[in-house]
Every structure is written in structure tokens, then in C-alpha cells.
Amino acid sequence: MKVYQLLLSSLFLLLCFSLSAQDEKMPWPRVLTTASGKEVTLYQPQLDDLKNNVVEGRMAVSAKGSDGKLVFGAVWLQATLATDMDQDEAALLDIKVTQTKFPEEVTDAQIEGLKSFLADEIMKWEPRMSLSQLKASLAGMESVSEGDKGLKHDAPDILYRESATMLVTIDGEPKFKEDSRSGISYVMNTPFFIAKEKNRSVHYLKGGDYWYKSESVLEGWTRIDNAPKKIKDFAEANAPKEEGEPSDEAKEQMTAAGPPSILVVTAPAELVLVDGTPDYQQISGTELLYVQNTESDIIMDIESQMHYLLLAGRFYQSSTLSDGDWAFVDPEDLPAGFANIPDDSPISDIKASVPGTPDAHEALLDQVIPETAEVDKNKTIEVTFDGDPQFSKVDGTAVEYALNSPQTVLRINNKYYCVEDGIWFTSSKAKGTYKVSTERPSEVDDLPPSSPVYNVKYVYIYDVQPEVIYVGYTPGYYHSYIYNGVVVYGTGFYYRPWYGYYYYPRPVTFGFGVHWNPYTGWGFSVGFSFGWVGWGFHPYYRPYWGPRGFYPGYRGGYYHGYHRGYNRGFAAGYMAGQRHSVYNNRAGVRTLNHQNHRVNNLGANRRPTNNNRVRPSTQRGNNVLTDRQGNVFQRTQNGNWQNANSTRNTRNVQRPSTTQRQQLNRTYNNRQKINRGGATTGFPRRGGRRN
């Protein structure tokens, strides 16, 4: 009986200590030594569900009795999740014990006493963990693969080249705007610098250190040594700030490659750039080949002789690499060998787009974890329009959206809403001042992917307090969606931008080489090299990739080349650009580490100052779990599972959630090594180097 009392009385300490900020890197299981010298073990939590910002889960715990035998129990929890993507941190707030299960010897009165005790004590704590640990605990979620309905997957124009080429994307026919001070006219509907002098017919294009000229914007670009002084001065005055400089090695490689050819497109397109004739290499243990002398992900299935190309999380197939001959392949129809690509293969990161793989499962988990913040209730914004407000109705819904505003403005049942920086605002009139909204209009849940404002359905209001409002968004806000067991980027639809005195772009799916990296999230590339994409050349309020304030990783400071062994752009990961939060550095908005948390305003001394009684277990493996019914199982040395409180009932069953959890734990440990400057296995591709 004493062992059960020990287990119950110590449980609240386990919950508090085990996930505290000081212990966030401690492996599982974790052992607490009580004041009397007894040991209680806490096994890794299994989070069953995450809806909005409410987490539900369970965990197994054990204690050793006087007879030396371990006794196990299960506890169900509910908590509010708070996150800070930039700090790679998650916290569980407002934790409640909703249910417990222990052997029959523990009475109902003791169980109720435990619940009451925990309700008083655990509210004083904010257990913390890294996002990787959170995902490892979420590995058993059953609803994570529910996808977005109505996404489009038609192939864009896929253009194949075997020499240095730069893809210059213009959003429709070129639209010129004249700068009143300099007289320079520039193409406003492109992120590239294309300009001409007043009353002149020659256009100039700047890319990195190169200048080009042409009589036509769409073709005929030739390399020149220099541009006219007025053009150069205008370019320098409006140049964006680069996120660093290329390495000396990368500069040498760009110089050796020479200036690229210019390929201009006015519709969604992607460039496949190969360094000469494709160099096919076998993927160990499979009947697959991959092309190693390219930044693109190209695989050939030997049996069918089909090429597979990965774009924005979607696979397309073609019998040749020629322009245009590509068709979408549903993830379920990929060759079986894709799932068997070894983890140490140079092409292994494509497995994040192969359903059923641990890599794909981790990407799915990213989709359900929200970024959260608290917002001052008196925060306001100003909403502007290019002329009088113009709205367009979304078919099949009660939602209208503004055509001519740089912000996402909605009209729903004669009320106006604006989603800005992941926060809902509202007003009684279209123009002017909007205040923080205390409600999220449910009508946005009816928005289809064909609507350019589809992403706002992933912005939420979680709680309203007298002075602050708790808000959050999931990756759908920045156009990351689930389709048939994998994560894809963009809806696949082309949205017409606004052309008026100003140009307001809409989010795009294709044209910028969007690529998923399991360590860093979405990144993009535009082909050849450093310094080509000039987001800062044009004062866009809303960038091409979606909500203002979100910046996917752009390897702008490194060589976007096609040579094996060179710095390989975003495919190697862009650590500084991983999963940014749109909430950071916003007035009146606080993320996890800057909040005055709602937990009864307990102040700064919520955590104990001495948790030296907590340590990782060196004698027990992380091999104990509880099912949804509260039965506790332990894996034996021969790989079977048995009832943890019995030595008789051995179950020879597979537990896929355990496999996923272990895989995610290994991922977390690898990242910890990388963050400490250790091993870099899994980041570099095709012999490249991660900087």
C-alpha cells in the first residue's frame, strides 16, 4: 500500500519538475528522488490530441515498492499550449488532471484526493520543452493527417536547362511605374530589378554583380559591363538589405560559372537547372536513381523509366526532362522505393513528401502546432485602400474580401475584419482604425482554397481577458497545407493581383523553388546566385509568399549553383530562417517568453529554485507507455510488449506511435548536436556544406 501512496503523493512533483525549463534537454525517462529517498519514474508523455491551443494527453509513471517490484499507473492531462517558434520553445499552461488509473488497491477517495491536490499545485507551474520534444510527444496523434480539401496540383510550366540560367518571374504582363523624383520607370509586378530611363526604350536588369540590357522586357537580355548612372543610383538607393555576404569560395564559384542566361516568364513556372548532362547515381537499397548535379530533387524509377520532380511538396512525373511534359502524381501513387531511401542518402530529405515515413509524420506534426501570443486589448491598426474600397464575394460563403488593400480585409455580415500579423482586428467601417477583435468570425471556416484569403482560416482567438487577448495561428496561415499524408506549399491556385496606382501581389505557389527541409521548414531559391531577388526594390506591404512578417528561409548569402560540392542553397537548410514568428517585434504583442501569463498572475517565482532531485534515468529505457484506456505496457528485451503490472500477459504487437516517437527523439538529439556545433549529418546535400 505504501508504494501506491508514494506514487500518488509524488506525482505532482514529477509533473512540475520533469518538463521545467532547466530540464528541457534531459532525456526520457526521468527520475525524481523524494525527500525520503524513494524514486519515482516519469515516462515520456503521449499527447493524444491538439485542438487549437488545447493539448490532451497521458503518461505512464512508476515507483519501486519495498519488495523491489515496480508498480505502474497512468494519468490523463489537459493543458493550454503556448509556443515561441523563434526560441524553439513550448510551454504547458493551466494544466489539469482529468483522469487517473492505478491498480485496484488504490481507493477512489485517494484518487479524488490526488486530483484535488494537483489542481491546487500544478497551476503554479509552466512545464517547458523544445518544439522537437513536443512533436515527439505528439507522435501518436490520430487526426494529424486530416488534410485541406480542394487544393490544386496542376503542374506549372517546368523549364529545363543545362547551363547557367536565371528565372525572372513577372506577375502577368509587365506593369511600369514611374518614380516621380528620378524619372526612372520600373517594373512593379516582379521582385527583380527591371528599370528604364524616361523616354528611353532600353531596359536594364540587375542581378547580383551583373547588369543586363534589352529592348524588350520579355526576351533578348544581353550582358553589359555597366548601366547608366541614373539607373545604378536608383538601384542602389532602393536596394534591399541582404542577409549576409557570400563566402569567398562561393564568390569564386559564381565568377567561374560566368553570367547566367535570362529566362523571363509571366505565368507560374519553375526552373530545373542541371550542370550539363544529368549525372544519375544509384540510391542504395532501392531501384531508384537521382540526378546529383542539380539543386532540384529529381529521381528516376528504373522499372518505369519515369522521372519524378519535387516542387512545393508535390511530385510530378515525366518520361523525359524536357520542358512541359510533367504530370502530378498523388502521394499515394509514388513508387514503393521512395519510402526506402536511406536516411544518409544525399536525397533523403524528399522523404518528408512521401506519406507514411517518419519524415512526413514530423512535417505533419508541424502543421498542428500553433504559434501563440498575447495581445493588448487596446492595440489598433490603420487600414488603407488604393482608392475607394472594392470588395469581391467568395462564392458559396458570406465572406467578401478587399481587392485593393495591401492588407487582408474582409466584410462579413456588414462588419469589417482585418487579419494583420496573425491577429484579428475589427471595425464598423472599411477605412481607418481597426481595434483588436474579441471574436473570430466562424464564416471564414467556409473559405475554399480558390480564395486568395484562404489562409486566414488558420488564425485563431483562444481566450479573451480584461486586458489581453490570447491569439495564435498554425502553418496554414503562411500557406503550408496537408494533402494525402504530406505537407505541401501553397494552394496551387493562381490569384490575380491588384493593379492600380499600387501593385499588391497575391501569394504564389510556384516560381521560387519552394522546398521543405525537416530542420528548417520552407525555404526558397530562384536559380543561380546571390543578390538577385530584390524584395526591397518595391514597397510591397504583402510579399509574394503570404502574410507580412513571415519570412521563409532564403539562402541569399550563398551560391544557388548546380555544381555538386558547392554551397547548395536552401536544400542544406537555412538555420537563421527557420519557422519565424510573425508576432515577434510587434508593439503590444508578446510571445511565450515575454508574457504576463494568465496563471492566476503568480509572478516570477512559480518554479522551485532547487530541482537537483530530478535526473535522467541511466538504468531504464524509454520503453514504457500507456494506451488510451490507461493500460501500461513495457517492451521486453525480445521486442514484445507486456502488461507492466504483470509478468504473464505478453503482447507480441507493433506500436507504430512508439516508433515515430523514437524517430522524433533521435531528430531532436541530432538537432541539439548541430546547435552545439557538433555533427551535421542530414543537413548537407550532394556534398554541400552547411554554413
Average pLDDT over residues 531-548: 47
Say if CB 635 and CB 648 are below 8 A apart. no
How far CA 466 is from CA of 375, 377, 441, in Å, comes to: 11, 8, 20
Residue among 164, 231, 242 nearest 193 (CA): 231
What span, in angstroms and rounded, lies between the C-alpha atoms of 148 and 151? 7
pLDDT of residue 305: 96
For residues 42 and 37, the model is more confident at 42
Residue among 239, 181, 179 nearest 537 (CA): 239
pLDDT of residue 687: 29
pLDDT of residue 583: 82
What span, in angstroms and rounded, lies between the C-alpha atoms of 176 and 179? 10
What span, in angstroms and rounded, lies between the C-alpha atoms of 157 and 271? 9
**pLDDT tens-place string over residues 280-293:** 999 999 999 999 99
pLDDT of residue 590: 83
Average pLDDT over residues 227-244: 80
**Residue 616: cis peptide before it, omega within 30 degrees of 0:** no
Average pLDDT over residues 340-368: 92
Residue 334 pLDDT > 60: yes
Residue 24 — pLDDT band, cuts 50, 70, 90? very low
Residue 212 pLDDT > 70: yes
Average pLDDT over residues 510-523: 75
* All three cell numbers of 419: 487579419
* All three cell numbers of 331: 502521394
pLDDT of residue 47: 80
Residue 308 — pLDDT band, cuts 50, 70, 90? very high
pLDDT of residue 477: 93
DSSP letter (8 states) at residue 274: B
pLDDT of residue 653: 42
pLDDT of residue 678: 33
Residue 138 pLDDT > 70: yes
Please enumerate in sequence order all residues whose Cβ is within 8 A of that of 36, keeping only pairs 6 or more positions apart, or say none.
Answer: none
Residue 275 pLDDT > 70: yes
Q: What percent of the chain has pLDDT over 90?
A: 42
Please enumerate in sequence order all residues whose Cβ is within 8 A of that of 39, keeping only pairs 6 or more positions apart, or say none.
Answer: 31, 32, 33, 63, 64
What span, in angstroms and rounded, lies between the C-alpha atoms of 379 and 293? 51
For residues 612 and 70, the model is more confident at 70
Q: Which of 256-265, 334-343, 561-570, 650-659 has the lowest mean pLDDT?
A: 561-570
For residue 2, give the amino acid letter.
Answer: K
Report helix, strand and coil shares of the chain as percent, to nearest 5. 20, 30, 50
**pLDDT tens-place string over residues 618-647:** 455 566 767 767 777 776 666 666 666 654
pLDDT of residue 203: 98
Residue 105 — pLDDT band, cuts 50, 70, 90? low
Pairing of strands 261-265, 165-169: parallel
What span, in angstroms and rounded, lies between the C-alpha atoms of 212 and 328? 35
Three-state SS string over 523-552 comes to EECCCCCCCCCCHHHCCCCCCCCCCCCCCC
How far CA 334 is from CA of 310, 347, 355, 360, 489, in Å, comes to: 12, 16, 9, 14, 18
For residues 440 and 678, the model is more confident at 440
For residues 358 and 685, the model is more confident at 358
For residues 479 and 67, the model is more confident at 479
Q: Which of 264-278, 395-409, 524-538, 592-606 has the lowest mean pLDDT?
A: 592-606
What span, in angstroms and rounded, lies between the C-alpha atoms of 409 and 387? 14
The model carries a pTM of 0.76
Residue 191 pLDDT > 90: no
**pLDDT tens-place string over residues 452-499:** 999 999 999 999 999 999 999 999 998 999 999 999 999 999 999 999
Q: What percent of the chain has pLDDT over 70?
A: 64
Average pLDDT over residues 673-691: 30
pLDDT of residue 241: 59
How large is the C-alpha radius of gyration of the chain? 28
Query: What value does the mean pLDDT of the chain take?
Result: 76
Residue 57 pLDDT > 70: yes
Average pLDDT over residues 69-88: 81
pLDDT of residue 42: 72
What span, in angstroms and rounded, lies between the C-alpha atoms of 259 and 209? 9
Q: Within 149-272, where are the H helices?
A: 229-237, 248-257
DSSP letter (8 states) at residue 609: S
Residue 234 — pLDDT band, cuts 50, 70, 90? very high
